[in-house]
Amino acid sequence: MSPPTEILLATRNPGKVREIRQASSSCGLVWRSLNEFPGLPPAGEDGATFAENARRKALHYAAATGLPTLADDSGLEVDCLNGAPGVQSARYAGEPPDDAANNRKLIAALAGIPLEKRTARFGCAMALAWGGQVLVETEGAIAGLIIDVPRGNNGFGYDPHFYLPQYGRTMAELTPAEKNAISHRGQALRALLARLALGSR
């Protein structure tokens, strides 16, 4: 299979689109987003895992547009909350998705829990679909701790509350290049591009 040069990103989240474009800037790919296709019916995202949701979204939007489609499903899993918010990360506080409301709910749920017990991870699953089948699937994860007071202005979602002890910073305090080098999404994307033989272009 010849690797595609134009790929649809199955998201309307500008943060995800920006990160993926930055992380793959040397690969010669043209990334399109769902914002260019406003009339498309949404894909179902009621799977039990990130991987299941990624597959569903990739297949759905590839069929709807005829374009090779990369879907990423990702989120935050907090150990002391039994893995919540998990697959509900984007809509943890309800509809419509609201980062600030999600973060408020998260910090309220962790009230009284000491920092050392607030272990968490960001997980990401990616799936590339085309021609009615899933061609490539990859995953990535990064561990950290959840802090009460947000720090940093980069990133999006739960990034300001996701503290990385080994760096002494939150995900939102990293530069885009630093985040892409270590993040769950960066890991999954690099693995996917390598599978497509695009990693060194």
- Side-chain-facing half-sphere of 147: CA atoms under 13 Å: 17
Catalytic residue among 73, 98, 148, 159: 73
Say which residues have a Cβ less than 8 Å from residue 165's Cβ, sequence separation at least 6.
144, 145
Q: CA-to-CA distance for 198 and 26, rounded, in angstroms?
A: 9
Is residue 98 part of the annotated active site? The answer reads: no
Q: CA-to-CA distance for 19 and 2, rounded, in angstroms?
A: 25
Note whether 198 and 3 are within 8 A (CB): yes
By the 10 Å C-beta count (0-12 exposed, 13-18 middle, 19+ buried), 171 is classed as buried
The catalytic site residues sit at 73
